[in-house]
Amino acid sequence: MALKMVKGSIDRMFDKNLQDLVRGIRNHKEDEAKYISQCIDEIKQELKQDNIAVKANAVCKLTYLQMLGYDISWAAFNIIEVMSASKFTFKRIGYLAASQSFHEGTDVIMLTTNQIRKDLSSPSQYDTGVALTGLSCFVTPDLARDLANDIMTLMSHTKPYIRKKAVLIMYKVFLKYPESLRPAFPRLKEKLEDPDPGGRTGMLMRTPRSPGVQSAAVNVICELARRNPKNYLSLAPLFFKLMTSSTNNWVLIKIIKLFGALTPLEPRLGKKLIEPLTNLIHSTSAMSLLYECVNTVIAVLISLSSGMPNHSASIQLCVQKLRILIEDSDQNLKYLGLLAMSKILKTHPKSVQSHKDLILQCLDDKDESIRLRALDLLYGMVSKKNLMEIVKKLMTHVDKAEGTTYRDELLTKIIDICSQSNYQYITNFEWYISILVELTRLEGTRHGHLIAAQMLDVAIRVKAIRKFAVSQMSALLDSAHLLASSTQRNGICEVLYAAAWICGEFSEHLQEPHHTLEAMLRPRVTTLPGHIQAVYVQNVVKLYASILQQKEQAGEAEGAQAVTQLMVDRLPQFVQSADLEVQERASCILQLVKHIQKLQAKDVPVAEEVSALFAGELNPVAPKAQKKVPVPEGLDLDAWINEPLSDSESEDERPRAVFHEEEQRRPKHRPSEADEEELARRREARKQEQANNPFYIKSSPSPQKRYQDTPGVEHIPVVQIDLSVPLKVPGLPMSDQYVKLEEERRHRQKLEKDKRRKKRKEKEKKGKRRHSSLPTESDEDIAPAQQVDIVTEEMPENALPSDEDDKDPNDPYRALDIDLDKPLADSEKLPIQKHRNTETSKSPEKDVPMVEKKSKKPKKKEKKHKEKERDKEKRKEKEKKDECEDAKTEAQGEEDDAEGQDQDKKSPKPKKKKHRKEKEERTKGKKKSKKQPPGSEEAAGEPVQNGAPEEEQLPPESSYSLLAENSYVKMTCDIRGSLQEDSQVTVAIVLENRSSSILKGMELSVLDSLNARMARPQGSSVHDGVPVPFQLPPGVSNEAQYVFTIQSIVMAQKLKGTLSFIAKNDEGATHEKLDFRLHFSCSSYLITTPCYSDAFAKLLESGDLSMSSVKVDGIRMSFQNLLAKICFHHHFSVVERVDSCASMYSRSIQGHHVCLLVKKGENSVSVDGKCSDSTLLSNLLEEMKATLAKC
Amino acid sequence: MIQAILVFNNHGKPRLVRFYQRFPEEIQQQIVRETFHLVLKRDDNICNFLEGGSLIGGSDYKLIYRHYATLYFVFCVDSSESELGILDLIQVFVETLDKCFENVCELDLIFHMDKVHYILQEVVMGGMVLETNMNEIVAQIEAQNRLEKSEDQVLG
């Protein structure tokens, strides 16, 4: 022993430690990778040694390499070894490595449960501490469930050091194992005040009250409450007390943040908060605290109904404090000030607007974060009065901006600001169009489509501006610079899309249509993206039509023919386009024009008819209009229009019954034989409805007429444009001109108004009446330059209220949405791990709580329920493995094995011990069914939805099948598909040592086939064996997992392999071999995937699936168990079950859908299947037949 | 919650990488690189908050960092943390390092990454702030160092 120790420390002297490794890496700058791979080889050697100190040193070095980006998951088992060292020094190294590299996918993690439990209850507080810290980083649902009770005990540990860690880690436990929240919550709440657990008298007995524990508890509850605030409202008084008594700024900040989350739910709380928060704002010197107070006051003020006069003081206080922050030289405070300001802006824009100067100043800041924040604020600060000025400032920034990202941000902001709430603040749309045109000069922007959309929107919705817009757009079409950028996606050339459409659609406003037409037909246009060219082609015709009309009216027949000739000459360039849309439109139009040409040659007037092609006007329709059309009363969209043929199919068409299963359950609406009167009434009602429905296309000859007839929807009178604004600004205008013009205009308006006011005043004087109207220039006083007629987007009448978006169903925090105020039920106790033999006999309630709770809370979401079921299954499986490992440490009573043996005989039995768990479940199941009176179960005929029917008693099953065995070793394996990687399956092989020798150096070699390949570590060749990552002492079993890549999964296949190992005992070592055959059945490629019945029905109706069926006779097993067998062995899940008929679903790792309809007759079972691959289906059904035949 | 704590030097060489959410190693390295480039182009006299590293989290996450001599200390946090509070926490962490290493410099972090982790573990646990009182932190560290030393002596 002593010699070994000395030897160990000598070994150690020659090993590199962490410092040497770091130094070495620094000295090998040029061939770092090579050096490190050398080091990793050394580490691997070190890990093989028995000396724990050497191992720990190696693991420590691995942790460093992990930081450099090297995957160290291969050493997971060694890390666990180091974690279980008795010395704190090593333990700490092990836990650190684990916390850096373990995660939920680490398979050996389940081996740590007992070690961690041991460390948690260690007498040394630092052993416990280090375990808690490590666990906080890699806790999995299994660990959380198994250790929740131990950690909860630690929450009342005598040492505050442990208490605070235990409290903090509970949050992680809740996340992974939501069932623990309710039972643990009372104790957590207790820790908010962390009363001394001694609590009696004598000072000596007391454990010190620790601010750390309280802070940890506040921390955890704040995290919980942030996600599901409503469950924590009842804690508000407690927190209120803490807030007024605590002096710890950390705790205060957390609590104040928490209140910020709670106030929106309970306005009364907000009212109470204002005063203490205001006091804190005045008194504290800590900026962080001040800032959070201001933030929460803002939240309170937002939640309170606005307009309460006594709160204006609070707003003022906040804004004033924020101003101080923004003016501070500390950039951090400036940033936060702006951030908080934007929150006030939403509800109290007026109070922020008075600080416009300050915010504009921030736009010039050198710090981009601050500039972006200031931009956000600007959005809410504009008014009719200052919009032009602000945008002008932004435009100068656009010119100055370096880097396209910030410039693009500015561009989108300008558009956002101008277009907000239906262009509310724009008084002069000519100015806005000019701004948009100016923005087109930006190079390299990604927002061409945004500008284009705005141009279209404005031109369509603001009728008064069309003339001006058309003139600007024709100038754009004419200018060359836009064409140049045509290569870039979403580039500025997108603007041409808008320009072309506007010029075409509103061509009657064009000054020189011929010129524009030529511009649009230039050869350069063909370099534009296809979708833009298509718009060009279409709108060229509109333009052409209007020119034709002009010429004909003027009697210039030659001119008209010349235009036609131009079209005939130029259109072919589009006909050659590679873009289908362009080509199609162009060739169609070319033929049309040629036809016109013929008519023109005969002097037939054509203009009228050509124009008629484009007559009528499109009104903008709100984007959600279609969705909001209410379903008229009496219309059932699901009802049959024609009654389906009666179900009188012949027997050969059996498989089709899968469809009818669905159909039959649908509510059928048989048309009652309506009498004439009823029909007439309905017809009348329908007519009425159609009249009110703008989407119904009626047979009325002119659609425009309808628009004119319907009052209200549109035709707000178009008012004359103020003539002081030039209608045509030559060339591309500078928007600045408008600013000046606008000022003049406003000035004039004001003068007029003043005049009027004076007159009125005189009148008033005469009338001896006083009216207190102070001459203030508010927003409302500014009349827009154009009485702008914004055509509102059409919405169907009596549109439905907006449908709210559902919450994200994948939110991991949803599981923690648990009512905490309900008293705890007995069933909700945390699972307590006891010794196994006692557990089997005495504590049947373990695991049962989950089941019972489910039945108590039927309102719980079905999906969650299902997930839980799946989890449970997974856990069960893992537990099985866990037990294999535990077997070496725990002495097992043999008698309960014997007890259950007769029951075990039914199923293939690779390993007795694994069945223990199942037996437990079974006995539990029995007890449960005994408890329930037979009538209490849901009526048997009721359809059972989704998920394997687990509630009932099931025969024991094991998915592990025997692979090979000899006198040394027994191999059993389970093949599972992996969802993460397409076409991969994981083969879990359990090796059991049945000899008295120690088995080591185990290697697995598998002969790959063309279709199936084993995933080997990098660098190893196909013929190398893959090492098994453990050794087996006598009587022990362990599991190794290997990944195989499968190319085609439609057929089952077999792979030959050999396990070679060294069996070593006292007499010596021998080299042994065991051959085996891995059988990949088609079922092993399936992954249990739940499916809802509606999705299932859709899948079947899609018709992409091929079908096949089998029938097996002589089956006596209950339908329930039969389904369970299919679920278990073939990885299916039950979609729906009615009586003795069930639909099932599964998915292959390559995404094939497999649907089954299982029916049980007297003594037979028929299985109809549908699958996207027929070979896969027939193979699957064969396998299923084999399974069923055994029943 | 704190999502990640990264320490790297002016050249982007990682000195401490601590994620509280699982990322594969290569993604971790990418995040470190991306964060480094984001932080590098910022002057020392502009604000210490940074929105949007594209790899971690989303809009809810912020990078809060401090630059000391040759090292950047970057915390990636979500909106439940107080920005100024985290800045203070970085200061506490650095001051603790300074106390434990006696005038800490980059070399200490390079050669004693493990010790830096142990110190950090007393400040932040599983992404949540564990202790902010420096004296308490240092006391616990020292107690553990003593424990380690006593074990070493037994070993001989």
Closest approach of chain B CAs to the CA of A1150, in angstroms? 24
How many other C-beta atoms are found inside a 10 Å radius of the C-beta of residue A832?
A: 13
Rounded Cα gap, residues A273 and A294, in angstroms: 12
Question: For residue A644, what are its two tokens?
Answer: 């389906």
How many other C-beta atoms are found inside a 10 Å radius of the C-beta of residue A673?
A: 6
Rounded Cα gap, residues A833 and A149, in angstroms: 8
Q: For position A652, what pLDDT does the model report? A: 47
With CA atoms as reference, report the closest residue to B129 among B9, B31, B20. Answer: B20
Rounded Cα gap, residues A333 and A826, in angstroms: 52
How many other C-beta atoms are found inside a 10 Å radius of the C-beta of residue B11?
A: 8
A226-252 pLDDT, tens digit per residue, is 888 888 888 888 898 888 888 888 889
> Strand, coil or helix: what is A1075?
strand
Residues whose CB is less than 8 angstroms from the CB of residue A671 and which lie 6 or more positions away in sequence, other chains included: none
Question: For residue A252, what are its two tokens?
Answer: 């205060």
Q: Running DSSP on this structure, what letter comes out for residue A490?
A: T
| Whether residue A844 has pLDDT greater than 50 | no
| Whether residue A798 has pLDDT greater than 70 | no
A441-483 pLDDT, tens digit per residue, is 877 777 888 899 999 988 888 888 888 999 989 888 888 666 6
Q: For position A177, what pLDDT does the model report? A: 92
Which residues on B lie below 8 Å from A164 (Cβ)? 130-131
- Average pLDDT estimate for A804-821: 65
A1073-1093 pLDDT, tens digit per residue, is 888 888 888 888 888 777 777
> Strand, coil or helix: what is A302?
helix
Higher pLDDT pick, B36 / A4: B36
Q: Residue B55: which domain range?
A: 2-155
Rounded Cα gap, residues A78 and A95, in angstroms: 11
How many other C-beta atoms are found inside a 10 Å radius of the C-beta of residue A203?
A: 6
Strands A1141-1148 and A1133-1138, by their bridges, are antiparallel
A385-404 pLDDT, tens digit per residue, is 888 888 888 888 888 877 77
- Contact flag B125-A132 (C-beta cutoff 8 Å): yes
Question: For residue A926, what are its two tokens?
Answer: 């029995």
How many other C-beta atoms are found inside a 10 Å radius of the C-beta of residue A586?
A: 25
Q: For position A703, what pLDDT does the model report? A: 41
A326-373 pLDDT, tens digit per residue, is 888 888 999 999 988 888 887 777 788 888 888 888 888 888 778 888
Higher pLDDT pick, A681 / B94: B94
Torsion of CA A309, A315, A320, A325, to 10 degrees: 180
Which residues on B lie below 8 Å from A215 (Cβ)? 129, 132
Residues whose CB is less than 8 angstroms from the CB of residue A774 and which lie 6 or more positions away in sequence, other chains included: none
Rounded Cα gap, residues A1141 and A944, in angstroms: 11
Higher pLDDT pick, A30 / A697: A30
Residue A870 pLDDT grade (very low, low, confident, very high; cuts 50, 70, 90): low
Give Cα separations from A493 to A483, A529, A532 (angstroms). Answer: 6, 9, 9
- Contact flag A212-B133 (C-beta cutoff 8 Å): yes
Can you spell out the DSSP letters for A543-564? HHHHHHHHHHHHT-HHHHHHHH
Closest alpha carbon within chain A to B12: A68
- Contact flag A88-B144 (C-beta cutoff 8 Å): yes
Helix and strand numbers, DSSP H then E, in chain A: 47, 16
Residue A841 pLDDT grade (very low, low, confident, very high; cuts 50, 70, 90): very low
Lowest-confidence region among A157-171, A918-932, B57-71? A918-932
B113-147 pLDDT, tens digit per residue, is 999 999 999 999 999 999 989 999 999 999 999 99
Closest alpha carbon within chain A to B142: A126
Which residues on A lie below 8 Å from B83 (Cβ)? 288, 291, 332, 336
- Average pLDDT estimate for A415-422: 86
Q: For position A482, what pLDDT does the model report? A: 63
For residue B28, the domain's CATH number is: 3.30.450.60
CB B9 within 8 A of CB B36: no
Which residues on B lie below 8 Å from A370 (Cβ)? 46-47
A264-307 pLDDT, tens digit per residue, is 888 788 888 888 898 888 888 888 899 999 989 888 888 775 54
| Whether residue A130 has pLDDT greater than 90 | yes
Closest approach of chain B CAs to the CA of A83, in angstroms? 15
Sign, CA torsion A126/A131/A134/A136: negative
- To test the contact with chain A by mutation, choose from B82, B93, B134, B135 the residue with the greatest count of A C-beta atoms within 10 A, namely B82
Higher pLDDT pick, A681 / A146: A146
Go through A967-991 and write b for each residue having 16 or more CB atoms within 10 A of its CB, e for each that does not.
Answer: ebbbbbbbbbbeeeeebbbbbbbbb
Which residues on A lie below 8 Å from B132 (Cβ)? 215, 250
Interface pTM (ipTM) of the complex?
0.96
pTM here?
Answer: 0.57
Among the partner-chain residues A88, A288, A369, the one whose CB lies closest to the CB of B82 is A288
Give me the residues paired with residue B51 across strands. Answer: B62
Rounded mean pLDDT of chain A? 75
| Whether residue A66 has pLDDT greater than 50 | yes
CB A455 within 8 A of CB A492: no
Which residues on B lie below 8 Å from A172 (Cβ)? 126
Tally of structural domains, chain B: 1
Residue A656 pLDDT grade (very low, low, confident, very high; cuts 50, 70, 90): very low
Question: For residue A454, what are its two tokens?
Answer: 């705005």
- Contact flag A93-B50 (C-beta cutoff 8 Å): no
**A197: part of which helix (H) or strand (E)?**
none
Q: For position A508, what pLDDT does the model report? A: 86
- Helices marked H in B16-133 — which ranges? 25-40, 83-101, 106-111, 113-123
Q: For position A83, what pLDDT does the model report? A: 93
Among the partner-chain residues B14, B87, B114, the one whose CB lies closest to the CB of A93 is B114
Q: Phi, psi at residue B17, to the nearest 5°? A: -130, 115
Closest approach of chain A CAs to the CA of B119, in angstroms? 12
Higher pLDDT pick, A353 / A256: A256
With CA atoms as reference, report the closest residue to A1147 among A1123, A1176, A1187, A1121. Answer: A1176
Q: For position B123, what pLDDT does the model report? A: 94
Among the partner-chain residues B29, B125, B156, the one whose CB lies closest to the CB of A136 is B125
Give Cα separations from B134 to B91, B131, B139 (angstroms). Answer: 10, 8, 8
Q: Percent of chain B, pLDDT > 90?
A: 63
| Whether residue A775 has pLDDT greater than 50 | no
Higher pLDDT pick, A809 / A822: A822
Neighbour-count burial of A397, counting CB atoms closer than 10 A to its CB (0-12 exposed, 13-18 middle, 19+ buried): middle
| Whether residue A1037 has pLDDT greater than 60 | yes
Give me the residues paired with residue A1115 across strands. Answer: none
How many alpha carbons lie under 13 Å from residue A731 in its C-beta half-sphere?
A: 3
- Average pLDDT estimate for A595-616: 86
Go through A59-96 and write b for each residue having 16 or more CB atoms within 10 A of its CB, e for each that does not.
Answer: bbbbbbbbbebbebbebbebbbbbbbbebbbbbbbbbb
Go through chain A and tell me how many residues it has.
Answer: 1191
- To test the contact with chain A by mutation, choose from B111, B122, B140, B141 the residue with the greatest count of A C-beta atoms within 10 A, namely B111
Closest alpha carbon within chain A to B1: A223
Rounded Cα gap, residues A1035 and A1039, in angstroms: 14
| Whether residue A1130 has pLDDT greater than 90 | no
Q: Which of residues 34-93 of B touch A (CB under 8 A)?
A: 43, 45-51, 80, 82-85, 87-88
Residues whose CB is less than 8 angstroms from the CB of residue A83 and which lie 6 or more positions away in sequence, other chains included: A91, A94, A95, A98, A112, A115, A134
Torsion of CA A576, A580, A581, A584, to 10 degrees: 60
Among the partner-chain residues A60, A216, A257, the one whose CB lies closest to the CB of B130 is A216
A709-738 pLDDT, tens digit per residue, is 444 434 444 444 343 433 334 444 466 677
- Contact flag B126-A137 (C-beta cutoff 8 Å): yes
| Whether residue A833 has pLDDT greater than 80 | no
- Average pLDDT estimate for A158-177: 93
Most trustworthy range by pLDDT among A106-115, A1010-1019, A1022-1031 = A106-115
